[in-house]
Structure formats: structure tokens, C-alpha cells
């Protein structure tokens, strides 16, 4: 029997689904962690935190919508496509509606960026512009990043590492070694979400001419690499604690280890795209739990 086509969304649900809300933890976690790192330096500015959080989420939603639009224009999406995308082919949105909304959200994010720059540094305008441009070029332009082996690296840097750095910098007007070191595993796990998506879509992407990292590695080695990224993230945090860079509170992140094990096992046991959706979900949950527990560890270290 063939795989069942995903259910068509209607009403509010189709608008909510279009925003891909389950992906937004990838932007929430870095902003929260970058702000938690501010505590030993000063009391974080709540307005700056909220502004950074909203701007980051708007850019991520816009990136998702650019991906939606350009996947449709290149014929990559169909009503049988597996995943959280497909608002155009499945839910009836006009392509131009998706594209206009993406640019509108980028515009709103830029307006929020003006407030952030006015209260910190105008260099942030350059960093924010690069993030928006990368979000567009991930799926758009003549050579989309999503078609190359560099998707994991770019998403990890721009949606993980750089967001943490910017969130810290706008509060402190500096960048510390601790901030740089702690950002690394979050960037790796954000890239891991991208890799999980590419593992799920490996067969379809290969047929459509993409050259993603899992396609180059092959499915078994891609899953092994993903598990290795999970492992490295935990070892990195343990190393920071052993070397005295951070306190033992950082070990709270190990409470998220079952999600890493679950995601790896699910990927190894399933081969069809629709069967790998739980593995995708577990990977995203891992990044969320890891980042929240890491932020909690920083907060507890400061107050206790």
C-alpha cells in the first residue's frame, strides 16, 4: 500500500500550520541562552530580550516561507509531500501570498532591529541583515544553500551560534569566551535538526537533484554522524565543567539524553519518510530541552 497523503488543513489551522510553529524553538532557545549568559555581567534588559526574541522568530518564519515558496516554484512539493511544509500545494495558499508575507515579516524584523540597534550598537544592523539574507538564500537565489552539503553548517551558525552571540552582545556590548564556548553545542544541535530533515527527505531530494550532506554520505553514515553530533554536544558541556569554564549545574543538560537516544534509534529503525517523522520530532525536542536545561543551569549557577 502507498503512504497516505497528509491531511489538508483548513481555517485557522492552515494559517497556524503555515508558520511551522514546531520549528520556532530553534530561535527561542538561542535567544534565551544568550540572555541567560548575561546574568553574571548585568541584569538583562527585558525589552531587549523580547525584541530580539520576536525579531528572531519573525526571521525564522520568513525563512520557512521562502522555503515554502521556492520549493513550490521548483516543483519539489506535492500534495503527498511529507513534512510540515506544503501550505501552497496542500492548503491552497497562493504562492504570491506566501512570498509577500515572508518579505513583510522581514520588514517587521528590520523595524524591530532599529530599536535594538538604537539601544545597543548599529553593527547589529549588519549582523541582522546577514541573517535575513541567509534565510532568503537558503532556498532562493540561483544556488540555494538547501541544495548543497552546507545546509547544516549554515543553519547551525546563523540560527544557533550567531543568535546567541547577538543576544548576548545587545545586552552587554561585548562578547566573552564563555559565550562563544557555550554557543557551540547549540549550533551543532540546530544543524542537527537540519540534518534530520535531510535524512528524512534523502530519497526525494536525490531524485530532485539536491546534493545535501546525507545524500553525499548515504543514509547509514548520515545517521551515525547525527548521533556523533549529539554525543559531541554532551562531551563539550562536560568538558567545560571539568575545565572549570562553567559549573556543575551545566550537567543538567544530560536530562535530555534520552531524546538523543530516542531520535537515533528511530532513524535507524525506519526507512520511509513518513515513518521518520517521530525521529524528526525527537531531534527538535532534543535541541529545545538541551538549550532550556543549559539556560536553567546558568540561572541556577547565578542565583544559588
Rounded Cα distance between 99 and 109, Å, is: 15
* 237-247 confidence digits (pLDDT tens): 999 999 988 89
Angle at 145 between CA 284 and CA 135, to 5 degrees: 65
- Residue 128 in this model has a pLDDT that exceeds 50: yes
Residue 131: which of 152, 104, 161, 95 has the closest Cα? 161
Domains of the chain: 15-299 (1.10.600)
| Cβ contact 270:279 at 8 Å | yes
Q: Give the CA count within 13 Å in the CB-facing half-sphere of 190.
A: 29
The gap from C-alpha 114 to its chain's centroid, in whole angstroms, comes to: 24
Rounded Cα distance between 193 and 198, Å, is: 9
Rounded Cα distance between 149 and 90, Å, is: 28
The gap from C-alpha 247 to its chain's centroid, in whole angstroms, comes to: 26
Q: Confidence class of residue 2 from pLDDT cuts 50, 70 and 90?
A: very low
- In 10 A of CB 214, how many CB atoms? 26
pTM: 0.90
Rounded Cα distance between 58 and 47, Å, is: 16
- Residue 130 in this model has a pLDDT that exceeds 50: yes
Amino acid at each position: 500500500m502507498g503512504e497516505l497523503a497528509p491531511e489538508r488543513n483548513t481555517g485557522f489551522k492552515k494559517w497556524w500550520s503555515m508558520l511551522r510553529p514546531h520549528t520556532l524553538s530553534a530561535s527561542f532557545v538561542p535567544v534565551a541562552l544568550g540572555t541567560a549568559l548575561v546574568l553574571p555581567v548585568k541584569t538583562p534588559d527585558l525589552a531587549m530580550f523580547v525584541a530580539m526574541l520576536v525579531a528572531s522568530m519573525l526571521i525564522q518564519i520568513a525563512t520557512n516561507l521562502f522555503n515554502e515558496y521556492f520549493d513550490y516554484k521548483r516543483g519539489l512539493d506535492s500534495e503527498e509531500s511529507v513534512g510540515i511544509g506544503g501550505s501552497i500545494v496542500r492548503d491552497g495558499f497562493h504562492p504570491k501570498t506566501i512570498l509577500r508575507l515572508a518579505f513583510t515579516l522581514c520588514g517587521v524584523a528590520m523595524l524591530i532591529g532599529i530599536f535594538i540597534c538604537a539601544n545597543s550598537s548599529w553593527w547589529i544592523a549588519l549582523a541582522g541583515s546577514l541573517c535575513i539574507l541567509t534565510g532568503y538564500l537558503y532556498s532562493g537565489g540561483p544556488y540555494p544553500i538547501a541544495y548543497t552539503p552546507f545546509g547544516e553548517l549554515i543553519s547551525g551558525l546563523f540560527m544557533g551560534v550567531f543568535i546567541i552571540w547577538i543576544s548576548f552582545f545587545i545586552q552587554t556590548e561585548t562578547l566573552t569566551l564563555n559565550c562563544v564556548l557555550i554557543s557551540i553545542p547549540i549550533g551543532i544541535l540546530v544543524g542537527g535538526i537540519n540534518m534530520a530533515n535531510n535524512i528524512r527527505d534523502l530519497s526525494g531530494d536525490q531524485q530532485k537533484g539536491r546534493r545535501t550532506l546525507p545524500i553525499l554520505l548515504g543514509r547509514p553514515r548520515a545517521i551515525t554522524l547525527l548521533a556523533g553530533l549529539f554525543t559531541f554536544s554532551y562531551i563539550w558541556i562536560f568538558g567545560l565543567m571539568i575545565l572549570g569554564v562553567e559549573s556543575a549545574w551545566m550537567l543538567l543538560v544530560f536530562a535530555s539524553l534520552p531524546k538523543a537516544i530516542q531520535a537515533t534509534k528511530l532513524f535507524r529503525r525506519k526507512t520511509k519518510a513518513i515513518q521518520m517523522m517521530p525521529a524528526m520530532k525527537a531531534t527538535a525536542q532534543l535541541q529545545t530541552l538541551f538549550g532550556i536545561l543549559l539556560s536553567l543551569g546558568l540561572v541556577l549557577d547565578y542565583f544559588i
